[in-house]
Chain A
Amino acid sequence: MTEATPGQTVGPFFHHALAYPGDAELVPFGAAGSVVLHGYVYDGSGDVVPDAMIEIRQADASGVVPAIGGSLRRRGHGFTGWGRCCTDFAGHYWFSTVEPGAPFFAVTVFARGLLDRLFTRIYLPGADLDGLTATREADGRLRFDIHLQGPSETPFFTFPRS
């Protein structure tokens, strides 16, 4: 096995390069059967992180992980199962998507001040996994906050070959 190229921070100036129209809308906002997955990103002092980027990868509602293109120029048909959202000034991210027919959303976190990407999972309500389970809000949205550090630090993962 060859040694992998090391990562580096995404830095502060990525929005104009990595954000694009429709990046966070895996399905159009408000579409029948859609759900909003959202939350805030916090640092170790409880302050919001306004320069983070979250990506999700997921199965469709039937549990199949799609392998089709079109995520960068969404044309309103075909669910690609991948999306990206840069946090706003309030540290907030959101996706319009469908609830996967699988236990979790796979998640990658990038930020200024974070020297390499972090992986985590967002499980659907009911999974009851500490720090990894979304809650359902009264209006139906799924809420999951990401804590890079601190008493509620989100569990982050590494995989055997990474």
Chain B
Amino acid sequence: MTTSQHEISDEIAKIQADSPRGAPLLDFPPYRSTLLRHPTKDLQLVDPEGAELLAPVFGHSDVDPVESDLTIQRGGEPIGERIRVHGRVLDGDGRPVRRQLVEIWQANAAGRYSHQGDQHPAPLDPFFTGVGRCLTDDDGWYSFTSIKPGPYPWRNHHNAWRPAHIHFSLFGTDFTQRLITQMYFPGDQLLALDPIAQSITSPADLERLIASYDHSQSEHEWLLGYRWDIVLTGSHATYLEPTDD
């Protein structure tokens, strides 16, 4: 008999009571695959040097503008609820991250990835790969047109379901700002049950991963808009800049 959701939720609640934290705990047993994959020693605090002070640069030669629309990549209309997800990428001091790469990937409307390893018996969509890229603009804005991903089961425990999410890969201006994370949708009842989301043991910090519905981006008879802003860690290149507070 595999572990039940009730047991997993109990484990999560105990850890959260002991150590509320804004960054995910790497050692988080309710997500079973972390057991042998989390470092056991403390991370070493070091001052970045050399290549760590400069993120890779991506330009218009790297990204075709059509890559930001996941609904037009395969010559037909993918099935599902058409959405736009937009927002800003900011650094830890509130400055926009300009002209930088954003990569996303997601399941289709039925909760199936276009990945050979995904064996979930839900239909693939011949018109949807679920993969997109764009560059932020001069104010740090990104925008993707896509299909709302479906939730899907996984094998962490009995009757385990991932909440609907879009994976985001981000770069800042320093190499040290590298971030891969997941964006969730508002009102998803699966979030409270999910060991991956709940590895962020402080509820206020988990909120940072949840997009908000944005009616100003919704289009008449066409799609629904969501807004999600991303804040990277602080840049070291500007570390000595004076501040007022």
A binds B: yes
CB distance B118 to A9 under 8 Å? no
Q: Tell me, in angstroms, the Cα distance from A76 to B94 when the chains sit together.
A: 37
CB distance B167 to A148 under 8 Å? no
Q: Pick the contact of B24: A116, A153, A158 (CB < 8 A).
A: A116
Max count, chain A CB within 10 A of own CB: residue among B131, B167, B232: B167
Residues on A with C-beta less than 8 A from B133 are 72
Q: Tell me, in angstroms, the Cα distance from A12 to B119 when the chains sit together.
A: 12
Max count, chain B CB within 10 A of own CB: residue among A66, A80, A160: A160
Residues on B with C-beta less than 8 A from A108 are 175, 178
How close is B190's CB to chain A, nearest CB, in angstroms?
Answer: 14
B60: nearest residue on chain A (CB-CB)? A69
Q: Pick the contact of B44: A5, A16, A112, A158 (CB < 8 A).
A: A158
Interface members, chain B 3-21 (any A CB < 8 Å) = none
How close is B162's CB to chain A, nearest CB, in angstroms?
Answer: 9
Q: Tell me, in angstroms, the Cα distance from A69 to B176 when the chains sit together.
A: 18
The secondary-structure label for the interface of chain A is: loop
CB distance A104 to B50 under 8 Å? yes
Once A110-B180, A115-B28 are accepted as A-B contacts, the answer to whether A16 and B50 lie under 8 Å apart by CB is: no
CB distance B59 to A106 under 8 Å? no
Q: Tell me, in angstroms, the Cα distance from A67 to B237 when the chains sit together.
A: 14
Is A15 close to B, CB under 8 A?
A: yes
In the complex, per-residue mask of B213-230: 1 if CB is within 8 Å of any chain A CB, else 0? 000000000000000001
Q: Pick the contact of A162: B37, B61, B233 (CB < 8 A).
A: B233
Segment of A28-36, A39-47, A133-141 engaged in the interface with chain B: A39-47
Is B114 close to A, CB under 8 A?
A: yes
Q: Tell me, in angstroms, the Cα distance from A149 to B35 when the chains sit together.
A: 9
CB distance B175 to A106 under 8 Å? yes
Is B34 close to A, CB under 8 A?
A: yes
Is B208 close to A, CB under 8 A?
A: yes
Q: Tell me, in angstroms, the Cα distance from A71 to B181 when the chains sit together.
A: 21
Q: Pick the contact of B92: A4, A67, A80 (CB < 8 A).
A: A4
Interface members, chain A 81-123 (any B CB < 8 Å) = 81-82, 100, 102-106, 108, 110-119
How close is B204's CB to chain A, nearest CB, in angstroms?
Answer: 9
Max count, chain B CB within 10 A of own CB: residue among A47, A80, A106, A162: A162
CB distance A12 to B117 under 8 Å? yes
CB distance A9 to B196 under 8 Å? yes
Residues on B with C-beta less than 8 A from A16 are 105, 113-116, 129, 131
4 additional A-B pairs beyond A8-B197, A70-B62, A113-B38, beta carbons within 8 Å, are A2-B90, A14-B167, A16-B115, A67-B57
Interface residues of chain A, those whose CB is within 8 Å of chain B, are: 1-18, 43-45, 47, 49, 55, 57-59, 65-73, 75, 80-82, 100, 102-106, 108, 110-119, 148-149, 153-162
Provide 21 A-B residue pairs closer than 8 Å at the C-beta atoms, listed in order of the A residue.
Answer: A4-B92, A4-B231, A5-B208, A11-B167, A16-B113, A18-B169, A81-B51, A82-B56, A105-B51, A106-B50, A108-B175, A111-B37, A118-B39, A148-B37, A149-B36, A149-B40, A156-B39, A156-B41, A157-B46, A158-B45, A159-B236
**4 interchain residue pairs of minimum CB distance:** A69-B59, A113-B33, A17-B105, A161-B234
